[in-house]
Structure 1
Amino acid sequence: MASDTSETIRSLLEGAIERTDDEEVHYKLRTAMQLLDVVRVRNEQLSDTLSAVDLDEDLEARLEELGYLE
Structure 2
Amino acid sequence: MPKTILKTIDELLAGIEEDVDSSETIYKARNARQLIQVLLQRRDDLDEAIDETVTDDEIVENLRDLGYLE
Q: TM-score range by the shorter chain?
A: 0.7 to 0.9
Q: Please give the TM-score of this superposition, normalised by the length of structure 2.
A: 0.77
Distance (whole Å) between structure 1 residues aligned to residue 49 and residue 57 of structure 2: 17
Calculate the aligned-residue CA RMSD, in Å. 1.9
Number of matched residues?
A: 68
Give the number of the structure with larger relative contact order, counting CA–CA contacts within 8 Å between residues 6 or more apart: 1
Distance (whole Å) between structure 1 residues aligned to residue 58 and residue 51 of structure 2: 15
Structure 1 residue runs without a partner (length 5+): none
Q: 1:36 aligns to what SS in structure 2?
A: helix
Distance (whole Å) between structure 2 residues aligned to residue 54 and residue 22 of structure 1: 48
Q: Please give the TM-score of this superposition, normalised by the length of structure 1.
A: 0.77
